[in-house]
Amino acid sequence: MRTLAVVGGGVIGLSVAWRAAESGWSVTVFDPAAGSGASWVAGGMLAPLSEGWPGEDEALEFGAAALARWPEFADRIRAATGVPVFVAEQTLTVALDAADAADLRTIADFVTGHGHELRLLDRPGVREVEPDLARTVRAGLLAPTEPAVDNRALVEALRRCCARAGVHIRAESVSAVDDLDHDRIVLATGAAAARLWPSLPVRPVKGEILRLRHRPGAPPPPRRVIRARVHGRPLYLVPRGDGIVVGATQYEAGFDTAVTVAGVRDLIADAEAVLPALGEYELWETSAGARPGTPDNLPLIGRLTDRVIVAAGHGRNGILGVPITAEAVAALLADEVLAEAKAAEPHRFSEVSAPSSSGGIR
Ligand code: GLY
């Protein structure tokens, strides 16, 4: 049986491992704390259409292809584990001022021009679908096909899928690719990808996020993902059965994952500007993670050598990218290429190469 080492046990590594094991590979995942990094911290938003912007055509089409795979992927997880991972069916981006409203029209024109569905809503239209939003919300952009996922339920479900498929998860770190003697290796170490393969242009982008619990008497969470820009800062509210996830700050701070006072303060203030009743919720958890950023905000999925494949650099869209990445890596393991993942080919960056010093790459 052919052997595969997957380095990194976040949602990307686990889904790659599951898929490969189902295709007949003997798979081992290496991660000292599988599922505990950015995958655990994330909000679970799947919003490539709402985040569309003129000129970013490749990111839109890659994101749309990723989104299209989610319903079937979620069905497979549910069939394997009984776990329903979706927590919302739609996304609503709201505008608090005239400039935001103009941006929503720009996004709508661009994205619908590519054949995807988005609907502009006026003030009463927003109120009708989400009555608890602030009276200052003046317009909205509804994405009827953009759901959200409970990322923590997803992590747990993928671990179970892996276990059922015979994947071994070893709580060990890998310090050099040369240490592994498997037939194939997948690097799925997220923001840390460049530690094992220094030419990969992946850098950590810090994000702080809050988890709020609903309290008796407080208005219920919104039914949809709510996105907004407040004081120039992007904000999202992702419903959960028992509360709301509020995200996320975004800045470059290396691998620091301390939660700052300023981060929490801004997130709460911005969220209250959109959903005033949020102050009645319990502040349950604060956390921070390192998104794996790339220069063009597209991931790196492709072959580095005959033996080594990278699946990293998913930036703000790691959860969104899970099914298409697993499929693209499965194709590479079968010496094929998934056409819809070509935009993520790592050699679009000229600096990506085999490491010069560590050697041993077969
Ligand atoms: N997935 C959204 C974020 O990274 O903030």
> pLDDT by residue (tens digit) across 213-245?
999 999 999 999 999 999 999 999 999 999 999
pLDDT digits (tens, 9 = 90+) for 113-158: 999 999 999 999 999 999 999 999 999 999 999 999 999 999 999 9
Same domain, yes or no, for 167 and 81?
A: yes
User: How buried is residue 250: exposed, middle or buried, by Cβ count under 10 Å (0-12/13-18/19+)?
Assistant: middle
Q: What is the mean pLDDT of the chain?
A: 96
DSSP state letters, 56-71: -HHHHHHHHHHHHTHH
The pLDDT score that the predictor gives to residue 120 is 98
Q: Which residues contact 82 (CB under 8 A, 6 or more apart)?
A: none
Q: What is the C-alpha to C-alpha distance for residues 312 and 360, in angstroms, rounded to an integer?
A: 22
Q: How far is the CA of 83 from the centre of ligand 1 (A)?
A: 23
pLDDT band (50, 70, 90) for residue 354: low
Same domain, yes or no, for 1 and 36?
A: yes
Which residue puts its alpha carbon closest to atom 2 of ligand 1? 316
pLDDT exceeds cutoff 50 at 357: no
| Nearest 10 degrees: Cα torsion 229, 230, 232, 237 | -50
Same domain, yes or no, for 232 and 123?
A: yes
Q: Which residues contact 67 (CB under 8 A, 6 or more apart)?
A: 46, 48, 49, 145, 146, 320
Domain housing 193: 1-86+148-201+295-362
Same domain, yes or no, for 222 and 362?
A: no
Q: How far is the CA of 317 from the centre of ligand 1 (A)?
A: 6
The pLDDT score that the predictor gives to residue 282 is 98
Ligand 1 proximity of 207 Cβ (cutoff 6 Å): yes
Ligand 1 proximity of 291 Cβ (cutoff 6 Å): yes
Average pLDDT over residues 272-284: 97
Distance of CA 23 to the CA centre of its chain: 24
Average pLDDT over residues 33-46: 97
The pLDDT score that the predictor gives to residue 359 is 34
Average pLDDT over residues 173-189: 97
Same domain, yes or no, for 1 and 133?
A: no
Average pLDDT over residues 184-191: 98
Any bridge partners for residue 235, and if so which?
228
The ligand 1 atom at the shortest distance from the C-alpha of residue 43 is 1
Same domain, yes or no, for 285 and 305?
A: no
Same domain, yes or no, for 165 and 195?
A: yes
Cβ atoms within 10 Å, residue 214: 19
Same domain, yes or no, for 118 and 215?
A: yes
Average pLDDT over residues 31-50: 97
Separation in Å, CA 176 to CA 197, 306, 355? 9, 17, 11
Ligand 1 proximity of 45 Cβ (cutoff 6 Å): yes
The pLDDT score that the predictor gives to residue 356 is 42
The rounded percent of the chain whose pLDDT value lies above 70 is 98
| Nearest 10 degrees: Cα torsion 178, 38, 51, 54 | -30
Given CA atoms 38, 44, 50, 55 in this order, what sign does their dihedral have?
A: positive
**Which CATH number does the domain housing residue 124 bear?**
3.30.9.10
Separation in Å, CA 324 to CA 167, 185, 321, 329? 20, 18, 6, 9
Q: Under a CB-based contact definition with an 8 Å cutoff, are residues 182 and 5 in contact? A: yes
Q: How far is the CA of 25 from the centre of ligand 1 (A)?
A: 32
Which residue puts its alpha carbon closest to atom 4 of ligand 1? 316
pLDDT band (50, 70, 90) for residue 353: confident
pLDDT digits (tens, 9 = 90+) for 299-340: 999 999 999 999 999 999 999 999 999 999 999 999 999 999
The ligand 1 atom at the shortest distance from the C-alpha of residue 209 is 5
Q: What is the C-alpha to C-alpha distance for residues 26 and 6, in angstroms, rounded to an integer?
A: 11
The pLDDT score that the predictor gives to residue 34 is 97
Q: Under a CB-based contact definition with an 8 Å cutoff, are residues 133 and 127 in contact? A: yes
Same domain, yes or no, for 132 and 193?
A: no
Q: How far is the CA of 23 from the centre of ligand 1 (A)?
A: 31
Whole-structure pTM value: 0.96
Same domain, yes or no, for 111 and 209?
A: yes
| Nearest 10 degrees: Cα torsion 70, 233, 245, 204 | 70
Q: What is the C-alpha to C-alpha distance for residues 194 and 203, in angstroms, rounded to an integer?
A: 8
Q: What separation, in Å, do the N-terminal and C-terminal C-alpha atoms of the chain show? A: 18
Q: Which residues contact 357 (CB under 8 A, 6 or more apart)?
A: none
User: Amino acid identity, residue 117?
Assistant: E
The pLDDT score that the predictor gives to residue 358 is 39
Ligand 1 proximity of 227 Cβ (cutoff 6 Å): no
**Six-digit token string for 310:** 């990278």
Q: How far is the CA of 295 from the centre of ligand 1 (A)?
A: 16
The pLDDT score that the predictor gives to residue 362 is 25
**Which CATH number does the domain housing residue 317 bear?**
3.50.50.60
Average pLDDT over residues 279-299: 97
Any bridge partners for residue 289, and if so which?
207
Look at residues 249, 266, 293 and tell me which one is the last residue of a structural domain.
Answer: 293
Look at residues 260, 293, 326 and tell me which one is the last residue of a structural domain.
Answer: 293
Cβ atoms within 10 Å, residue 219: 14
Ligand 1 proximity of 248 Cβ (cutoff 6 Å): yes
Task: Please report which helix (H) or strand (E) contains residue 268, including its range.
Answer: helix 261-274
Look at residues 264, 293, 322 and tell me which one is the last residue of a structural domain.
Answer: 293
Q: Total structural domains in the chain? A: 2
Average pLDDT over residues 246-264: 97
Same domain, yes or no, for 137 and 161?
A: no
Same domain, yes or no, for 209 and 121?
A: yes
pLDDT exceeds cutoff 90 at 187: yes
